[in-house]
Amino acid sequence: MSLPLLPLRDELFLLGHNDDTGNPHIHRQALALGLAGAVLIDLYLAGRIVLDPTDDRPPGERWLRLHTDHPVGDLIADTAIAAIRHGHTAPPVRTFLRDFATDLYERTRAGLVAAGILRHHTRRRLAGLARTDTYLATNNKWAIVARARLRYLAHGREQPDNHTAALAGLVAALGLTEHLYLDDDTTTITTRLTTIAAQHHRSVRNITTTVDATVGDLATAAYR
């Protein structure tokens, strides 16, 4: 029996961590920005939001608008809909990503724990004075299946669906390609995944491009 498709943010969260240690492959803030982008892409693919079609500004400055405020039935996605609906003005993509990413890493992790996909482990050291919290997958099948879909795309064995093409773009933008455990070199795979993602919806490309640029801003700020 095939596994149900997880939201993009959940798949991205799992691919963003080491299966054995639970440690993130990249900085948490960078991953959180990618998670926020994944939420927006899922909402776009579900027909809930649009990027203002009359707006010719750069991708990150284009306004987000609700196509319909009908809930998705997913707590985090519906929170994003409410944030856009109740904002004083239509938020630009970059602004939404920064604001919504604030505690999104923790909220996504909590959702995966509640769903039984992650399990919280506590390890005490130094006679109980130091505590380390880790979150490990209860079954690695979720990450394995997501990697397999990306592998099939990269090798041209499957036609890209919108969900997996979007995941490919986010993985490439966040620099997670090397953690897909593919035989090809990282640069080649990243180029293939980016090319596949670029062939799909313009709005999805704009969101992914803005994730890439906003993560870049984060890295630049760290060196100031």
Whether the CB-CB separation of 177 and 186 falls below 8 Å is answered with yes
Whether the CB-CB separation of 89 and 66 falls below 8 Å is answered with no
CATH H-level superfamily of 8-138+202-218: yeast vps74-n-term truncation variant domain like (1.10.3630.10)
Give 117: exposed, middle or buried? Use CB within 10 Å, 0-12, 13-18, 19+: buried
CA distances from 106 to 13, 28, 100, 103, 109 (A): 11, 10, 12, 6, 5
pLDDT number for residue 132 = 83
Q: What share of the chain is helix, strand, coil (3-state, %, to 5)?
A: 55, 10, 35
Query: DSSP assignment, residue 24?
Result: B
> Cα–Cα distance between 131 and 128 in angstroms, integer?
7
pLDDT number for residue 194 = 93
pLDDT number for residue 126 = 65
Residue 200 in 3-state DSSP?
coil
Contacts of 62 (CB under 8 A, 6+ apart): 51, 52, 55, 92, 93, 206
Q: What is the pTM (predicted TM-score) of this model?
A: 0.92
- Given a cut of 50, the residues of the chain with pLDDT beneath it are 224
Query: What is the H or E stretch that residue 124 is in?
Result: strand 118-125
Residue 140 in 3-state DSSP?
coil
pLDDT number for residue 185 = 80
pLDDT number for residue 145 = 94
H-type alpha helices, 46-140: 75-85, 93-100, 104-114
pLDDT number for residue 81 = 96
